[in-house]
Amino acid sequence: MFRRPRPTHDVRVTAVAPLTSTLVRLTLNGPTLADLGIEHPTQWVKLAIPEGHSRAYTIRHHRPGQGEVDIDIVLHGNGPVSRWAATARPGDAARLAGPRGRFQPLDSAAHLLLAADESALPAALTILDRLHPSVRVSAYFEIADAADALPLSTRADLTTSWLPRPTGHPKGHLLSAALLDARLPSSASAWLAGEASSVTAIRRHLLTDLGYPREHVQAKGYWKQGESDHKG
């Protein structure tokens, strides 16, 4: 089977706004973005930069009428796309391919667990944006600093644990430790994303120790410590 090529979209940066100490929001505009077709939370694109590298990023907002998207990028300083984003300015060119991915809709009365580090926070927020008020959500978000906790708006019944990472602590460890320690509901759906090893540890805990059915747990390694362009 051949994969159908994804549509590509030439874009320009129109605005750059720091969101937290580690996340920058790039607003990108392009003549074909009205037709990007974002219908589900967590949908993502491949963002290709002029020097040729491309990486996966979540469409945080899509404004079809303006032919515009917002993408929130972690400035971890270690990879080509993160470095490009750190110095991006209005007028800079890039290309998007996609969109891809989708979040399976949940039972409207479910209890939902969300676990994310900064890389997956934009995607987690697209889920929160669209939840039904009857959904109870327990969200665990690992962030670089307590001041990085973002204001959250959702219609769902949300309890959030922000987990600021102590200096020098490896990314993702706090998140997996928090979920392994937490008193989690005996039955829930879960969406987990972030550093691959921590996501694997949390997934294993939910499936093996708590007996969550496999189909109730959506887990994706968004990046992997020490690995460039990780394909989760």
Ligand X SMILES: Cc1cc2nc3c(=O)[nH]c(=O)nc-3n(C[C@H](O)[C@H](O)[C@H](O)COP(=O)(O)OP(=O)(O)OC[C@H]3O[C@@H](n4cnc5c(N)ncnc54)[C@H](O)[C@@H]3O)c2cc1C
Q: Which residues bind ligand X (CB under 6 A)?
A: 44, 53, 55-58, 72-74, 76, 78-82, 101, 119, 122-123, 171, 222-230, 232
Q: Which is nearer to ligand X, 86 or 107 (CB)?
A: 86
Instruction: Tell me the C-alpha distance between 68 and 141, whole Å.
Output: 27
* Selection from 74, 65, 64, 66 nearest residue 26 by Cα: 74
C-alpha separations of 193 from 122, 123, 199, 202, 214 in Å: 11, 9, 6, 10, 16
Shortest gap between Cβ of 156 and ligand X (angstroms)? 21
Contacts (Cβ under 8 Å, ≥6 apart) of 47: 54, 55, 56, 57, 71, 81, 94, 95, 96
Q: Which is nearer to ligand X, 56 or 188 (CB)?
A: 56
Shortest gap between Cβ of 170 and ligand X (angstroms)? 10
Shortest gap between Cβ of 131 and ligand X (angstroms)? 19
Q: Which is nearer to ligand X, 154 or 197 (CB)?
A: 197
Shortest gap between Cβ of 232 and ligand X (angstroms)? 5
The DSSP call for residue 144 is S
Contacts (Cβ under 8 Å, ≥6 apart) of 40: 101, 102, 103
Instruction: Tell me the C-alpha distance between 56 and 230, whole Å.
Output: 10
Shortest gap between Cβ of 55 and ligand X (angstroms)? 4
Shortest gap between Cβ of 211 and ligand X (angstroms)? 27
Q: Which is nearer to ligand X, 25 or 111 (CB)?
A: 25
Q: Which is nearer to ligand X, 112 or 193 (CB)?
A: 193
Residue whose CB is nearest to ligand X in the complex, by number = 79
- Quick check: 140 and 174 in contact, CB under 8 A? no
Q: Which is nearer to ligand X, 88 or 184 (CB)?
A: 88
* Selection from 94, 92, 95, 141 nearest residue 120 by Cα: 141
